[in-house]
Structure formats: structure tokens, C-alpha cells
Amino acid sequence: MALKFYGKGGSEQDSCPSVHADDTDGSLVIVGWPEEDPDVLAKIQEVSHIESHERAFRVPRELKKALWEACGGNDPDFG
């Protein structure tokens, strides 16, 4: 497996949330904060079931560009 790093941010520490892509299958690996707000999880459950082995993660807005690029986008301007 070869992970390509696209960016990190949103924390004042070295353990920032980050975005990576797996070159072998094109999947994304996201490091973020586990979402625990019951209202947010309920909203997600309205459109997508969360299995017991799955987790929802929150990443800061600073990673929008990294997510876009990891999905194949080119130099977006997210302001």
C-alpha cells in the first residue's frame, strides 16, 4: 500500500486531522475527530445507515482543498 499525503490542518498540535489517498485502490484515508453529537448522527442516519463497525468523522474546513485534490480535483479556490 502506498499512501499519498494531501494535507493536514485544524489543530494547533502536530496531531492534526489529515487527508491521504491509497494509491492501490483510490480510497481515501481521513484522520479526524469522531463525531459524537447525537443530533448530527441522527441527521446522517436519515440518509445513510451507520453500521456498528463504522464511524462518522469531522474534519476542519481547512482540509477542503486537500479533500478536493485527493479526489482528483485541480487547484480549487475555496476562499
Instruction: Please state whether 65 falls in left (phi above 0), alpha (psi between -120 and 50) or beta.
Output: alpha
Residue boundaries of the structural domains of the chain: 3-70
Mean pLDDT value of segment 61-65: 85
What would the pLDDT profile of 11-50 be if each residue is shown by its tens digit?
Answer: 666 678 899 999 999 899 999 999 999 999 999 999 999 9
Residues 6+ apart with CB under 8 A from 51: none
C-alpha cell at 16: 492534526
Contact assessment for residue 11 and residue 58, using Cβ atoms and an 8 Å cutoff: no
Q: What pTM does this model have?
A: 0.74
- pLDDT at residue 12 in the model: 66
Neighbours of 8 (CB within 10 A): 19
Nearest Cα to Cα of residue 65 among 19, 23, 32: 19
